[in-house]
Amino acid sequence: FQPFFTTKPTGSGTGLGLSLSYDIIKAHGGDLRVKSIEGEGTEMIIYLPIEE
């Protein structure tokens, strides 16, 4: 999740969305996993710990 990486044209977006999301999830003790299959799509799963 490299900050400032974007597939959008220059000036359209900051490229921080996934990087910030990953940092927030990690700060809460969670994990972000990505599964991508070319031509089919991408699945993103967020795991967060449950406090008992």
**In this structure, are residues 21 and 30 in contact, taking their beta carbons and an 8 Å threshold?**
no
pLDDT of residue 16: 64
pLDDT of residue 46: 95
Q: Give 6-49 pLDDT, tens digit per residue.
A: 566 655 655 567 888 888 999 999 999 999 999 999 999 999 99
Q: What does the alpha-carbon distance between residue 30 and residue 12 come to, in Å, rounded to a whole number?
A: 29
Neighbours of 27 (CB within 10 A): 8
Residue 38 tokens read as 């070319």
pTM of the model: 0.62
